[in-house]
Structure 1
């Protein structure tokens, strides 16, 4: 498969995964698969939660696409790459930056990352299946971007200080 087409399939899959993650989170994880996702909305002392099975499911799907994708000669190999890249970004943003499951990242002053954190905190305001908002990961509602920018401006020292 030509490199440009492979890159296009990978990027399109990555972009689609943001919509897919939002849809699955809102309608499936907060719906029929709440039994798995609930573990993510309650405090617990365990390093692993039932919700982590979603990583296993998408990882297995991605691996199957890699294995059957002819080492990049078939388009679905690159779909697997897009899913894997989105999964890696999801893990880093959601589990490392937002939830601090690996404690090597300090709080960021970046307005976008602060907005992501705010939106996610709004999602976790409720511990139940219903009543949550903000189901996406990388797309942030403009209201949280405005809030994060306003906070950054209040904290920024004036010129000459």
Structure 2
């Protein structure tokens, strides 16, 4: 059982790198037509970009379903790791960053502020070229530093 938990957590961690690569080279590459509306203001709740939910969900579902059917729990663990990352992505990207659901609108968390700033910098590029900050959960040092400077400036004014 411990092995399956370790595999699940390892896959979860690995998904950050897979997401970064997919975001930079697929979503900002040959599937830009699906991702483009995410970088430009559109009307309505849904975006073409939401199709990536299904693109990532299918491998997870197949690993869990087929692994369960054949009692291959390594496969189930891989699918569970992908699914956990998908849940984290939904929570952070849709709820915390873009606030498509108004649940966490204010925070004092330096980590959340750094993620929001990194994502803001990603979205300042409305075209597929010249992007930055393609990951989701790991934030580059320059965004942490920006948040620290902002907090220090705010504290010095108060």
Shared fold per TM-score greater than 0.5 = yes
Q: Which residue of 2 aligns with 1:131?
A: 130
Q: Which residue of 2 aligns with 1:106?
A: 105
State how many pairs are aligned. 157
Compare the two structures and name the one with the higher helix fraction: 2
Q: Which residue of 1 aligns with 2:115?
A: 116
Say whether residues 1:69 and 2:84 are aligned partners: no
Q: How far off its partner does 1:83 sit?
A: 0.4
The alignment's TM-score, normalised by the length of structure 2, stands at 0.93
Q: How does 1:136-147 map to 2 (within 5 A)?
A: 136-147=135-146
Contact 1:109–1:152 (CA<8 Å) still a contact in 2? no
Q: How far off its partner does 1:155 sit?
A: 3.2
Moved over 4 A (4+): none
Say whether residues 1:42 and 2:40 are aligned partners: yes
CA distance in 2 between partners of 1:57 and 1:30 (Å): 15
Q: How far off its partner does 1:22 sit?
A: 0.2
Aligned-partner SS, 1:35: helix
The alignment's TM-score, normalised by the length of structure 1, stands at 0.91
Q: How far off its partner does 1:156 sit?
A: 4.2
Contact 1:31–1:129 (CA<8 Å) still a contact in 2? yes
2:24 pairs with 15, 20, 26, which one?
A: 26
Contact 1:96–1:102 (CA<8 Å) still a contact in 2? yes
Q: Which residue of 1 aligns with 2:78?
A: 79
